[in-house]
């Protein structure tokens, strides 16, 4: 019986690559998204993967969304908390709205989503929770106090939840991507990319979404059952943790 995997922020960028890789590996995949209906419909048409729209910063929306996914596909056994947003500005100019939006989406969503599935995982004695953090949660980034704080919180969440569930067949791990070749990075002016970003990356190139996705597929597998509470750094050597 194919396991059910749910990916938040799953219809674009890294999330889309994760969904496709899990689907190719034989999982029944549900892709959550927040607002871009056109992109979600295109993704669904191209991949055949089911898409579900809700706001991961809302606990009630997550509860309703997970119930719908489980009614359609079965119990969620693999959860990838990938959804994230940015509201960048220097801290002395940051508004409460910018702070709360990023903290609630990038960190609060880990509680909102994982809380819906953890009891089922504990009851079945199997589960995989994989949290997509960021290099900037490890080293910090100018203009991203909110984002860096949330992504650092993702790592602490990962370690504590892993400890609580290690004896129950549930693993909890984090992945920290660096600069990945997604729409967001492609929007950076070419001269900025070539002069200010690529020189910081020892391998001399951006990472690819599929490289993150392959790591997720491995961490979701039975073969990764001894790996829990870990932070996997995938950034081309830019920051070695």
- Please give the positions annotated as active site: 147
Output the six-digit token pair for 149: 């704080």
Cα–Cα nearest to 183, from 35, 39, 29, 44? 39
Tell me the pairing of strands 50-53 and 170-177: unpaired
Output the six-digit token pair for 184: 């967001």
Which positions ≥6 away from 10 have C-beta within 8 Å? 16, 18, 19, 29, 30, 31, 32, 33, 49, 51, 80, 82
């Amino acid at each position: 019986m194919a396991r059910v995997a749910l990916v938040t922020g799953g219809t674009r960028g890294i999330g889309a690559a994760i969904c496709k890789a899990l689907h190719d590996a034989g999982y029944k995949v549900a892709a959550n998204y927040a607002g871009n209906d056109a992109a979600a419909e295109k993704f669904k048409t191209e991949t055949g993967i089911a898409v579900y729209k809700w706001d991961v910063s809302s606990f009630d929306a997550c509860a309703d969304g997970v119930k719908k996914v489980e009614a359609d596909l079965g119990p969620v056994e693999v959860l990838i908390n990938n959804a994230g947003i940015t509201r960048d500005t220097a801290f002395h100019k940051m508004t409460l709205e910018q702070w709360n939006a990023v903290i609630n989406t990038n960190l609060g969503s880990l509680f909102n989503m994982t809380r819906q599935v953890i009891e089922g995982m504990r009851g079945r004695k199997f589960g995989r929770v994989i949290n997509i953090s960021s290099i900037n949660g490890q080293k910090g980034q100018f203009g991203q106090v909110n984002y860096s704080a949330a992504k650092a919180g993702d790592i602490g969440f990962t370690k504590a939840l892993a400890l609580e569930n290690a004896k129950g067949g549930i693993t909890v791990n984090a992945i920290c991507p660096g600069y990945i070749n997604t729409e967001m990075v492609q929007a950076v002016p070419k001269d900025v990319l070539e002069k200010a970003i690529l020189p910081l990356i020892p391998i001399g190139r951006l990472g690819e979404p599929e490289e993150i996705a392959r790591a997720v597929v491995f961490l979701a597998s039975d073969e990764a059952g001894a790996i829990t509470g870990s932070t996997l750094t995938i950034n081309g050597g830019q920051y070695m943790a």
